[in-house]
């Protein structure tokens, strides 16, 4: 069946992949034509299967042999470009947050994806802090804007990853659904406001940008800003969903907030999203419509980076209200004051449309599983999910 090996040289992922598809050891053994005890030995790393068994295991789990086993006796290093998005959480930028290692050096934990000719590195901070890192990097002394990386995963994983930027909480669900149906594809969802995501796309730092930017002059969602920010770059715009945008309010709405004008009351404070986010753009528009200026709103400059962070601040009593979406309000037991419906779009450079991992993402978007799940969250309308909205910049 195999031979005994040093477990520090080989990592078996058989158990991880078996659990991901919901198989018991006995069922996997039956499908692969081996004993349950053999599966136990393979999963513990005490035995390495021969080629035939490895191939049967891969077929039973719907993956490649390379996905099942990793060798760790070679230290892999590479150079990666640091993503330039400048989203903030409590006034700390992603790139500037403290990622120091225990040795006191400026070492960053990173997610990695190849975008075009470059590998792009996203520091793990804020909501991504406890995600497993793809590599550990430090600032390159030879290449400004780049990091020298000690790789923690197989290089092939970097090459079959999609880097998706956006603020929609359902993008995490989308990443999970892609992995369920396409084991050789990984979606890295990195939080970014709408404008920051588009600018990263323009700079060649992502495969896909999510955006919700309503334009008051035209009454359109996203397209006016996309055309301005990505002028000359051919892109495809695909609808992900429509959602309810508004103000998230404390449970029971104890301050009895009924209109946007109530935010100017002296007993009311808010938390806000960062400049360039769709939620902040919409809040600014409605404040102006009500004849209010930011300096009249207590807490206007208190920034949280995500819908969930705003919701948590309101839930925990740190503010009376904050801009966000109905789904986040419901998930946190908050009241909600709707302001308007918006469309959330995915923006993809035309040059990436034939990239197999991007195709896997789009196939998942149009599939029934993801659409059914976001509908159950509340506040999402998936009737337009997967619809081609426009092709611009050609």
Task: Write down the domain spans for the chain.
Answer: 2-71, 75-158, 160-394
Helix (H, G, I), strand (E, B) or coil at 257: coil
| Ramachandran angles phi, psi of 18, nearest 5° | -65, -45
- Please tell me whether residue 293 adopts helix, strand or coil conformation: coil
> Pairing state of beta strands 235-249 and 335-349?
antiparallel
Q: What is the mean pLDDT of residues 14-22?
A: 89
Asked if 262 and 378 count as a contact pair (C-beta separation under 8 A), the reply is no
Q: How much of the chain is in helix, strand and coil states, percent to nearest 5?
A: 35, 30, 40
- The distance of Cα 103 from the centroid of its chain, to the nearest Å, equals 30
Query: Averaged over 7-11, what is the pLDDT?
Result: 61
pLDDT digits (tens, 9 = 90+) for 161-195: 999 999 998 999 999 999 888 888 999 999 998 99
pLDDT of residue 90: 31
Mean pLDDT estimate for the chain: 87
Q: What is the pLDDT of residue 394?
A: 59
Determine contact, residues 389/237, Cβ cutoff 8 Å: yes
At residue 254, the 3 state secondary structure works out as coil
Q: What is the pLDDT of residues 215-261, one digit of tens each?
A: 888 888 899 999 999 999 999 999 999 988 999 999 999 999 999 99
What whole-number distance in Å separates Cα of residue 374 and Cα of residue 156? Answer: 31
For domain 2-71, give the fold.
434 Repressor (Amino-terminal Domain) (1.10.260)
The reply to whether CATH 3.40.190.290 applies to domain 160-394 is yes
Tell which wins on pLDDT, 98 or 201: 201
Mean per-residue pLDDT for 271-281?
91
**Does residue 99 have a pLDDT over 60?**
no
Statement: residue 71 has pLDDT above 70 = no
Has residue 103 got a pLDDT over 60?
Answer: no
Instruction: Tell me which residue of 66, 306, 56, 354 sits closest to 197, measured CA to CA.
Output: 306
- How many other C-beta atoms can be found within 10 angstroms of the C-beta atom of residue 70? 14
pLDDT, position 182: 85
Looking at the predicted structure, is the pLDDT value of residue 4 above 80? no
Q: How far is CA 287 from CA 264, 274, 281, 294, 302, in A?
A: 9, 16, 10, 8, 16
Token reading at 364: 């998942």
In the DSSP assignment, the letter for residue 262 is: G
Per-residue pLDDT at 372 exceeds 70: yes
Buried b (16+ CB within 10 A) or exposed e, 359-377: ebbbebbebeebbebbeeb
The model's pTM: 0.74
Question: Which whole number is the average pLDDT over 347-371?
Answer: 93
């Amino acid at each position: 069946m195999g031979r005994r090996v040093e477990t520090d040289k080989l990592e078996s992922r058989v158990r991880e992949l078996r659990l991901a598809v919901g198989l018991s050891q006995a069922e996997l053994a039956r499908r692969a034509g081996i004993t349950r005890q053999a599966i136990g030995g393979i999963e513990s790393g005490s035995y390495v299967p021969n080629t035939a068994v490895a191939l049967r295991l891969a077929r039973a789990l719907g993956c490649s042999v390379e996905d099942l086993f990793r060798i760790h006796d070679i230290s892999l290093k590479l150079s990666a470009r640091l993503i330039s998005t400048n989203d903030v959480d409590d006034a700390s930028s992603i790139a500037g947050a403290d990622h120091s290692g225990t040795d006191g050096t400026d070492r960053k934990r990173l997610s990695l994806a190849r975008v075009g000719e470059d590998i792009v590195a996203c520091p793990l901070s804020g909501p991504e802090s406890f995600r497993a890192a793809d590599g550990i990097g430090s600032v390159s002394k030879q290449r400004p804007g780049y990091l020298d990386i000690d790789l923690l995963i197989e290089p092939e994983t970097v090459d079959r990853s999609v880097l998706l930027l956006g603020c929609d909480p359902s993008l995490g669900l989308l990443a999970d659904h892609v992995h369920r149906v396409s084991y050789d594809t990984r979606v890295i969802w990195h939080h970014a406001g709408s404008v920051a995501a588009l600018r990263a796309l323009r700079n060649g730092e992502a495969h896909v940008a999510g955006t919700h930017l309503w334009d008051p002059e035209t009454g359109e969602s996203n397209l006016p800003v996309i055309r301005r920010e990505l002028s000359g770059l051919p892109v495809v715009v695909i609808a992900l969903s429509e959602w309810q945008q508004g103000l998230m309010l404390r449970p029971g709405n104890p301050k009895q907030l009924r209109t946007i004008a109530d935010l100017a009351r002296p007993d009311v404070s808010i938390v806000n999203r960062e400049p360039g986010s769709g939620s902040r753009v919409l809040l600014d528009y409605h404040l102006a419509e009500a004849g209010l200026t930011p300096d009249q709103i207590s807490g206007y400059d208190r920034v949280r980076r995500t819908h969930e962070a705003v919701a948590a601040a309101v839930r925990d009593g740190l503010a009376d209200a904050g801009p966000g979406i109905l789904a986040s309000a419901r998930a946190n037991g908050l009241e909600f004051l709707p302001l308007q419906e918006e469309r959330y779009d995915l923006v993809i450079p035309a040059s990436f449309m034939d990239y197999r991992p991007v195709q896997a993402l789009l196939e998942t978007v149009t599939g029934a599983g993801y659409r059914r799940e976001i509908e159950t969250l509340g506040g999402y309308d998936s009737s337009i999910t997967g619809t081609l909205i426009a092709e611009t910049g050609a």
